[in-house]
Chains A and B, each alone.
Chain A
Amino acid sequence: MERRTALARLSDVAAQTGPLLGRLYQGARRVADDWSARVLGSDFEERVALLEARYRLAQDPFGFDLDTARKAVATCAVFHRLYFRTEVFGIENVPEGRALLIANHSGQIPIDAAIIGCSMFLDATPPRVTRAMVDKWTATLPFVSMFFNRVGQVVGLPENARRLLRAEELLLAFPEGTRGISKPFSKRYSLEDFGQGFMRLAIETETPIVPVAVIGAEEQYVSLGNMSWAARALNLPVFPFIPQMFLPGGQLPLPTKYRIHFGEPMRFFGDPEDDEAVIADKVWLVRQTVSHLLAEGLRARKSVFF
């Protein structure tokens, strides 16, 4: 008897709390849906579907995987929309088909690339997959190399870039390279020298270049300089000294406000094998344009954080 009443009571509890839990669950789901719609946009699934035809039916030779990319974008969107509250200007300047995004590189770790990629996925119409050119060194890192492959990054070699551009992909390159990303706080928003490879490639493949200025990334980590001895000891390209790393929670970047300015596409013609000096002039034009976009963006900015 005892047992039966106990069971009866349990079932009473279940009957009473069941719908309550159900309602709670429904509520939680609604909040989660609202929240993901706010972060990812209500049309996220449609955006993924638009890319399906291109990337799921035929295996990408560089290992891009739409499912991984989808999850990566969903995660990155939290930073893009909530943490850095990115404002995007002129994204309609990115032409359809092959294009080369040339941006300033900054911020110690390549969050700028992730945010640009996220923005091309979530804010551009139609959505685009951004193939960033990464350093060869990253291919030696476990997990990093695997993840980079799957989200569409490729080792930055002219052969790879040529192949992708011929397949009408959107490439992202940072001609400042490692020198750009690791620059100390005192040199923020001053561009390092640009490499020339991207220009020869753009001329050869008749690709429009879209200059991009990323504002906000340069303040996310305050680096006081490069500890070259530590970099040598650990066999790393650079080892920045970042005091905030020693504070609790300081490992996260500072929640600066990101602003991305896409300039108008630039087209270059001529001989891709031309003299250094001729190519350098064209590279200078692109560098000046990025520099100009940065200067204008900085002038319009009222605060680093808002």
Chain B
Amino acid sequence: MSGAPSDAVIVTGVCGRLGRSVARALHRKMQVIGIDRRDFVGRPRDIEHHVLDLRSKRVRDVFRRPGLRALVHLGVMHDPRSSPEEHHAYNLLAVQHLFECVEQFQLPKVVVLSSGNVYGPRPENPQFLKEDAALLAAGRFSDIRDLVELDMAAQSFFWRNPKTETVILRPSHILGTVRNAPSNYLRLKRVPTLLGFDPMMQVVHQSDVVTAIRLAVEPSVRGIFNLAGPPPVALSQALELLGRTPVPVPHAAARFAVERMFRWRVTSFPAPELDFIRYVCMVDDSRARQELGYEPRYSLDQTLSAVDD
């Protein structure tokens, strides 16, 4: 086993594309312990992996080892296809259980990956949302509520346990090999857009998010940090840079079609997500730049083209 035993970090959701990148970024400096329901394919030998449901009792045993430095919680279920009820229960019970373990074993650090989407795209939004803005995403898009509640749970944990340094990261749209809604959207050959709407967007390369997570694991950092990548870009320009063909559809028609297509399982985009290509939802990441020392390394071109990697 490489790395000092006093320097271990638990990463949940380690088998996702982002989780694997995080594991790779950390495992040379510290012992990485992965927890996921899936198998870790192509796992580096020095990474310890536990195939576990995050709600199960045996998760506690993983926390029992001495010298744990941090928990990085990435194991948030985002699958829009599973039933919203199961989704909601899984995500919230998992985080509750993990926080109990952190409290019991007095871990010095918790890093939770939330999302800039918890603010919600709204016509009333300021162009750049600060960390203290209200989390209003669930108002128009009820299935995002588990993400909002996860963020809230992390916030309340932050206040209840001053001995543990809690970090909540809220990145804007993460692009890369990850299979999330914005990357999948930009991977379409003909990209539907909303006729007459062209909001400004922020995107961030998944490797920049990994860097931010690495920085957040360092001691003496705590709080909520928005993360943005290169300067914002209009949706139309992003599609032009990627060489995609936009297909403008009136909003009412798009909503009608996407609702039905989602029900018939033709698309994996829930209809309320259309608001993300209608209204602005951008974050001000100056706090992360100052306190975390975060600096995105990938340019706009590199970030956008990462969806085709």
**Given contacts A154-B127, A159-B128, A163-B127, are A62 and B200 in contact (CB under 8 A)?**
yes
Measured between alpha carbons, how far is A155 from B282 in the docked complex, in Å? 14
Encode B228-243 as 1/0 by CB contact (under 8 A) with A: 0001111001000000
Of A19-27, A137-145, A225-233, the segment with at least 4 beta carbons within 8 Å of chain B is A137-145
Tell me whether A61 and B123 are in contact (CB under 8 A). Answer: no
Give the Cβ gap from B237 to chain A, nearest Cβ, in Å: 8
Over the window 136-163 of chain A, the binary record of Cβ atoms lying under 8 Å from chain B Cβ atoms (1 yes, 0 no) is 1101111111100110001101011001
Whether B126 lies near A146 (C-beta < 8 A) is: no
A residues in contact with B232, CB < 8 Å = 59, 61
Determine whether the beta carbon of A142 is less than 8 Å from that of B231: no
Query: B196 contacts A143, CB within 8 Å?
Result: yes
Closest to A140 in B: B123
| Interface assignment of A63: CB less than 8 Å from any CB of chain B | yes
Beyond A61-B128, A136-B123, A155-B123, whether A146 also contacts B198 by CB under 8 A is yes
- The interface residues of chain A lying within 8 Å CB-to-CB of B130 are 159
CA of A65 to CA of B231, assembled, Å: 15
Write the nearest CB–CB distance from A234 to chain B, whole angstroms.
16
Contact A63 B198 (CB under 8 A): yes
Any B CB within 8 A of the CB of A58: yes
Known contacts: A58-B231, A61-B231. The answer to whether A145 contacts B127 by CB under 8 A is no
Chain B contact residues, majority secondary structure? loop
Q: Which residues of B contact A63 (CB under 8 A)?
A: 198-200, 234
Decide: A142 near B200, CB < 8 A? Known: A59-B231, A62-B127. no
- A144 CB to closest chain B CB, in angstroms? 8
Q: A143-B196, A145-B197 in contact; A136/B231 too (CB < 8 A)?
A: no
**Complex: chain A residue closest to B198, CB-CB:** A146
Residues of A close to B194: CB separation below 8 A: 142
A150 and B236 alpha carbons, distance in the complex (Å): 12
Interchain CA distance A136-B200 in the complex, whole Å: 16
Is B250 an interface position by the 8 A CB rule? yes
Q: Of residues 252 to 296 in B, which have CB atoms within 8 Å of A's CB atoms?
A: 279-280, 282
For the complex, what is the distance from the CA of A246 to the CA of B81, rounded to whole Å? Answer: 53
Across the interface, A61 reaches (CB within 8 A) one of B197, B200, B279, namely: B200
What residues of chain A lie closer than 8 Å to B198, measured between beta carbons? 63, 146, 149-150
Partner of A159, one of B126, B200, B279: B126
Chain A, interface size category, equals: 20 to 34
A61 touches B196 (CB 8 A): no
A139 CA to B127 CA, complexed, in Å: 12
Q: Chain A 54-70 against B: per-residue CB contact (8 Å), 1 yes, 0 no?
A: 00001101110100000
Cβ-closest chain B residue relative to A62 = B127
Q: Does B195 contact A (CB under 8 A)?
A: yes
Residue pair A61, B127 in contact (C-beta under 8 Å)? yes
Instruction: Closest A residue to B234 by CB, please name it.
Output: A63
**Nearest-CB residue, chain A, relative to B133:** A159
B124 in the interface (beta carbon within 8 A): yes
Q: Is B251 an interface residue (CB 8 A)?
A: yes
With both beta carbons as reference points, the residue of chain B lying nearest to A136 in the complex is identified as B124
**A149 — which chain B residues lie within 8 A by C-beta?**
198-200, 234
A178 vs chain B, min Cβ distance (A): 15
A160 touches B126 (CB 8 A): yes
Instruction: Scan residues 14-66 of chain A and give those whose CB is less than 8 A from a CB of chain B.
Output: 58-59, 61-63, 65
Q: Which among B123, B125, B130 has the greatest number of chain A C-beta atoms within 10 A?
A: B123
Return chain A residues, CB-CB under 8 Å to B123.
136-137, 139-140, 145, 155
Within 8 A of A (CB), among B109-150: 123-128, 130
Instruction: State the Cβ distance, A240 to closest chain B Cβ, in Å.
Output: 23
Output the nearest chain A residue to B126 by Cβ-Cβ distance. Answer: A159
CB distance from B229 to the nearest CB of A (A): 13
Q: Which of A110-167 contact B (CB under 8 A)?
A: 136-137, 139-146, 149-150, 154-155, 157, 159-160, 163
How long is the Cα–Cα vector from A219 to B231 in the complex, in angstroms?
A: 43
How far does the Cβ of A64 sit from chain B's closest Cβ, in whole Å?
A: 10
Task: Give the contacting residue for B251; candidates A61, A142, A155; CB below 8 A.
Answer: A142
Q: Give the nearest-CB partner of A154 in chain B.
A: B127
CA distance A62 to B280 in the complex (A): 10
CA distance A197 to B159 in the complex (A): 33
Report how far A112 CA is from B196 CA in the complex, Å.
24
Instruction: State the CA gap A159–B232 with chains docked (Å).
Output: 17
Do B127 and A160 touch (CB < 8 A)?
yes
Q: How far is the CB of A164 from chain B (nearest CB, A)?
A: 9
CB proximity of B221 to chain A, nearest CB, Å? 25
Out of B126, B233, B234, B250, name the residue touching A155 (CB < 8 Å): B126
> In the complex, A140 Cα to B252 Cα: how many Å?
13
- Residues in chain B within 8 A of chain A (CB atoms): 123-128, 130, 194-200, 231-234, 237, 250-251, 279-280, 282
15 contacts between A and B (CB under 8 A): A58-B231, A59-B233, A59-B237, A61-B231, A62-B127, A63-B234, A137-B123, A145-B196, A149-B200, A149-B234, A157-B124, A157-B126, A159-B126, A159-B128, A160-B126
Task: Give chain A's interface residues, CB within 8 Å of chain B.
Answer: 58-59, 61-63, 65, 136-137, 139-146, 149-150, 154-155, 157, 159-160, 163
Taking A63-B234, A143-B196, A145-B123 as given, write out 7 further A-B residue pairs in contact, using a Cβ cutoff of 8 Å, ordered by the A residue number: A65-B234, A139-B124, A141-B196, A142-B250, A154-B127, A155-B127, A160-B127
